[in-house]
A and B are shown apart, each in its own frame.
Chain A
Amino acid sequence: MQGMGAHGEIGRIGHVSEPGVGEFVELMKPRVMSLVVFTALTGMLAAPGSIHPVIGVIALLAIAVGAGASGALNMWYDADIDARMARTAARPIPRGRVTGNEALTFGSILAVLSILTLGVLVNWTAGALLALTIGFYLFVYTMWLKRRTPQNIVIGGAAGAFPPMIGWAAVTGSISIESVLMFLIIFVWTPPHFWALALYRCRDYERAGVPMLPVVAGAGETRRQIWLYTLILVPLAIAPALIGMAGIFYGFISAALGVVFLYLAWNVRRITQGREADQAARQLFTFSILYLFVLFAALLVEHAVARWIA
């Protein structure tokens, strides 16, 4: 419980008046939430069978709230780290707008409500997967791995990879090879995405004491690992088209995006010095977000069109 000691202090930094609604929304990491909802929706549409629209909306809402709960609990535990990093110093707890206890209570209530809602109103496979996701993100990633090992985001990446599986399970009540494939795509995408960020934010992570790969093993090893993960990611992302889960449209898009990802990852590996090296890492980081978004958008559009025609 390394992060715990700092919470009381951080909650009292500056002027904690009555926190507003906006601060609680910030605790939920809305941008992460939107990506979670998007990938979960893709999982729902890609799944065979159908779900009543009302139940579908409830499932998405519960998944969104569950993601928000994870964000709030993560901000509660990591408040001391957040205060030391430029990227996160303006979050509500380090800024002194919300206390650690408020974030903990808020996150816990949302977590319980979202899991129960998904379990009771949709199905318990989806509910259990949401519980696993929140638990994995909080206990395995945030509390256990983040401060201890450079493999933190590799294993912890699983938490971000579960939403399409939850969406799939909301429709089918089960787990299958297709939903595992969507999980694997996000899981393998996570390391190059975060390590590209860590390459140009290395000093930030070092100051905060987070053992990201560039801090522990150096930039050279990080560049090599980014390249290796990219080599696994690109064919994996094309695989849905090869196993009949997606069509030609998705296959073409994923192949084209994969070529760009390979090119940018190769640039990161090749350019190792100066501002150009930072620039290459930034380009890969920015593109990786677009990559995942377009990939899942292609899958979503293809399945939405197929359903509309049928």
Chain B
Amino acid sequence: MAVVMSSNRDEEQERTKRQRMRSLVIALALGVMAVLFYLATIVHLGGNVGSRPL
């Protein structure tokens, strides 16, 4: 009985660890995507964006 409970706890811990890692990677991927869109926007705007008439 104790062995089964310990094995269930290990499985639960492993499951939580995997979930956390997946969430972390998704967050990281979204962050990278946001940065890439930002950088691409700057590149497309070009160097003179600051000196354009408002």
B32 to chain A, nearest CB (A): 9
Is A58's CB under 8 angstroms from B40's CB? Answer: yes
Stretch at the interface among A14-22, A171-179, A190-198: A14-22
Query: With A18-B18, A58-B36 given, can you name 10 additional A-B contacts, CB distance below 8 Å?
Result: A17-B14, A18-B19, A18-B22, A19-B18, A21-B18, A21-B25, A54-B36, A55-B40, A121-B37, A121-B40
CA distance A309 to B44 in the complex (A): 27
User: Is A61 part of the binding interface, using a Cβ–Cβ cutoff of 8 Å?
Assistant: yes
Residue of B nearest to A19 (CB): B18
Whose C-beta in chain A lies nearest to the C-beta of B11?
Answer: A17
Q: Which residues of B contact A21 (CB under 8 A)?
A: 18, 21-22, 25
Closest B residue by C-beta to A62: B36
A interface with B by C-beta (< 8 Å): 17-21, 24, 52, 54-55, 58, 61, 113, 117, 121
Instruction: Indicate if the CB atoms of B15 and A61 lie closer than 8 Å.
Output: no
Contacts of A17 in B (CB 8 A): 11, 14-15, 18
The yes or no answer to B4 lying at the interface (CB within 8 A) is no
Determine how close the nearest CB of chain B comes to the CB of A92; give it in whole angstroms: 13
Contacts of B25 in A (CB 8 A): 21
B26-51, CB < 8 A from A = 33, 36-37, 39-40, 43-44
Within the complex, which residue of A18, A24, A121 is in contact with B36, where a contact is CB–CB below 8 Å?
Answer: A121
